[in-house]
Structure 1
């Protein structure tokens, strides 16, 4: 558990590691943004757009397949001419139904506790009822989890206890992904607001004043890891420099609103107040130094940067001083590299530990005749097979030391992403000039890999499916794969939605 105690207007955030929630997710369903110090959101309950800011506390917990998360807000409005205060506490409970046969999880979220009070000038708004329901489907792929959901809700506020009511209807959806290299969740929230309030004129007559408004919020929370090379400032050193892995988290939000025109408490029925408000917040980056590669045969090589990056990330763990970039990459080496690049190692380690602890169980049998259980790459090959990333050349032979072809490499990467089904219906053309040479089992993967930018043809626009990949070429393809996980997914799940929706 990590606890940060902060002074007024600072944020207290409590994080626990629990399934599906250990990544960036916008706080609540209010469209607000926060960093370690400050939370901000727009409030429309009075009919006038107002920015509130202050403290946010987040606590998470869970047991079994159920997760709970509580948000507690203590905010004030940014308009110093008006007395304002907002206190809110909401607890969401999510139950996860694991469909292991489908590789998917269904999450069902409900609201278990709520309270909210808003003071704006002389008016007090109190939340009397809050109904909320949300459901997500999470597609668990080896390289990344992808999810999408929908939600509906309704808030019912009283105004000064008995002067009227405000009803806020909420609808929308979320999309997101989560992998070792980052995570992004983007929510699109639609608010429809109705207010009915009794007012007394100067002569003591009562009438009901009503208004309607709406707001659309697009809020995104992104966590990304990047590799940055840092030169060694010292001249007389055993190494020139090395890579730094920086973890950045940023939240952005855009409110588009259409509210009534209110002046001195009087609603202008002929005019509206419309506008946009953008909010953003960044966390302090986390910095990690990585191990320094010392290969003697990659200096000046066209793939030097790719090779050194992968070694720094422990994707390659050669202890020798020579990488031999121009020799063929083997099938066993590649599946090991992909699994390490996707950070599936914890599963491998747990499997290995469980295997050694089950002394009374029958000896484990390898699924392949040419890969022994004692082989140093056995757990990676087994993991690749169980997750559907890489199969054998037959039902009983894996051929671990055979050289890797381009068709095999691309197929493994697309299977790791789970994108094979994104290819068109059979009968399509991949646009490579040697399309007729691409084997049928690799064609879907080749098409998708080109579409998402991790594959290019040669100067003659040939894919060369049967060409043996060198260790240097395989390194370059792995880096493009990692860059897709790092950059392209964020672009699709954040910028493409918020900027173009």
Structure 2
């Protein structure tokens, strides 16, 4: 991540550009698109909107990352002569706890320089104390994190004619996965200005949320004589919303800001199955095939045949874009005297091109074998087994009530004890629902069509429901 470390680990691994991550710039409630940045400044006791340019650059070394922000802003109102120049560098150190899949991040300020000129008055930042600590829980399908912030800024007013102190308290929550990421900050500021006759005290709170989402949209083919009717487009959208609530000695109220990036469009492959037209799961199947989550023959998908353990495991790993822990053998060389890697299971060899998905799923505790040394790749999957895999991929298996509860399904007595927690959580997350008789048939064999429905619900949770919980339910905008 940037300094808020939402995705520092992923940055270290993949060197993702800073501007691609859905994380608010700095800790002042500003919003930005590709070219312009804007924020509200309260240092005078009145809200003043500043707009201008910004840049962010980062350096990653071992378990430490530094991010430098630079802003050159001016008052949006031509009647208010105002300029703001700010450069600040935040350094985040990471402490990994691999045994529990968690990381602790500690962030501080290493360099700072800020000058605000409003009319004939100048405010120089002379000291900036800042401390931030985050806990990141790395789950197979998504990373979840939360942080707390304390800080204080000291400004000199007109070369020692007075001073302004801003105390900062707040926190942030966020998540990141292949299908989306959101960070929401809520930070309180208390201003104490000792500037002669214009001295004042006041406070303001900024709530800012930066979100990136990927969604699928269907595009019809306008041509009548074509080999296909239409296809899906993957649309990546990024936007930032902010709300300031302020109560100062001279004024009080609320101000909202919003900026959107230009969406990115990606056309996906077009399925040409002849055995799904009119099928109840047709739309789900075509979506997942376009995303390369599911495979099929040139013209057939076989929607009503049972799905195998291997095919479902592979689909979940692809749907989540979970990085496999085994690199292709063509790209790696075994060191001299290093023992040759042995497959976890006797019934799927390392040479099998799909073994890397199985290995990663087992390493992530998403799935286990049917015995100590057998995976059962061609064995049909039960509905209860599939639901357990989905909930484990999210890392939500511990969110069920204490033992002794009953689910709301009419066939609750048929649910195996090892699957009950996951089925309860999946119902709460809207990953599954009962039939007309409110049954889920937990021990029934899952078809490829039913698997498509489950996986699409899973993707919609990653894409939409998390954003709603981490932004819409927190900020009213």
Q: TM-score range by the shorter chain?
A: over 0.9
Correspondent of 1:411 among 380, 388, 398: 388
**By how many angstroms is 1:486 displaced?**
0.3
Does the CA contact (< 8 Å) of 1:18 and 1:61 recur in 2? no
Q: Rate the CA distance shift 1:324–1:356 in 2: closer, same or farther, 3 A.
A: farther
1:432 matched to which residue of 2? 409
Are 1:493 and 2:470 matched, yes or no?
yes
Correspondent of 1:103 among 88, 101, 104: 101
1:155 matched to which residue of 2? 153
Correspondent of 1:238 among 219, 227, 230: 227
1:45 matched to which residue of 2? 43
Correspondent of 2:200 among 211, 214, 233: 211
2:3 matched to which residue of 1? none
**By how many angstroms is 1:234 displaced?**
1.0
Structure 1 window deviating more from structure 2 (22-31 vs 181-190): it is 22-31
Larger Rg: 1
Following the alignment from structure 1 to structure 2, what is the Cα–Cα distance between the partners of residues 351 and 422?
36
CA RMSD of aligned residues (A): 1.7
What SS is found at the alignment partner of 2:199? strand
Are 1:444 and 2:421 matched, yes or no?
yes
**By how many angstroms is 1:394 displaced?**
2.0
What SS is found at the alignment partner of 1:400? coil
Are 1:384 and 2:361 matched, yes or no?
yes
2:452 matched to which residue of 1? 475
What SS is found at the alignment partner of 2:437? coil
Does the CA contact (< 8 Å) of 1:352 and 1:379 recur in 2? no
Correspondent of 1:361 among 327, 330, 338: 338
Q: Rate the CA distance shift 1:230–1:429 in 2: closer, same or farther, 3 A.
A: same
* Deviation string, structure 1 residues 169-189 (Cα, Å, up to 9, x no partner): 001000000000010000001
* Deviation string, structure 1 residues 95-134 (Cα, Å, up to 9, x no partner): 1111111101111111011000001111100000000011
Does the CA contact (< 8 Å) of 1:247 and 1:287 recur in 2? yes
**By how many angstroms is 1:462 displaced?**
1.2
What SS is found at the alignment partner of 2:249? strand
What SS is found at the alignment partner of 1:420? coil
1:117 matched to which residue of 2? 115
Are 1:280 and 2:252 matched, yes or no?
no
* Deviation string, structure 1 residues 473-492 (Cα, Å, up to 9, x no partner): 10111000000000000000
2:301 matched to which residue of 1? 323
Are 1:27 and 2:16 matched, yes or no?
no
Following the alignment from structure 1 to structure 2, what is the Cα–Cα distance between the partners of residues 458 and 198?
72
Does the CA contact (< 8 Å) of 2:334 and 2:340 recur in 1? no
Q: Rate the CA distance shift 1:353–1:99 in 2: closer, same or farther, 3 A.
A: farther
**By how many angstroms is 1:362 displaced?**
2.8
Are 1:465 and 2:463 matched, yes or no?
no
**By how many angstroms is 1:351 displaced?**
5.5
**Where do 1:35-74 residues align within 5 Å?**
35-74=33-72
Q: Rate the CA distance shift 1:300–1:96 in 2: closer, same or farther, 3 A.
A: same
Unpaired runs of 5+ residues, structure 2, are 1-10
Correspondent of 1:223 among 212, 216, 220: 212
What SS is found at the alignment partner of 2:28? coil
Unpaired runs of 5+ residues, structure 1, are 1-14, 200-208, 262-272
Following the alignment from structure 1 to structure 2, what is the Cα–Cα distance between the partners of residues 68 and 108?
12
2:4 matched to which residue of 1? none
**Where do 1:131-280 residues align within 5 Å?**
131-199=129-197, 210-261=199-250, 273-280=251-258
**By how many angstroms is 1:364 displaced?**
2.0
What SS is found at the alignment partner of 2:270? coil
Q: Rate the CA distance shift 1:368–1:219 in 2: closer, same or farther, 3 A.
A: same
**By how many angstroms is 1:359 displaced?**
7.3
Q: Rate the CA distance shift 1:325–1:360 in 2: closer, same or farther, 3 A.
A: farther
> TM-score by structure 1 length?
0.90
Structure 1 window deviating more from structure 2 (487-496 vs 457-466): it is 457-466
2:314 matched to which residue of 1? 336
Aligned residues: 465
What SS is found at the alignment partner of 1:421? coil
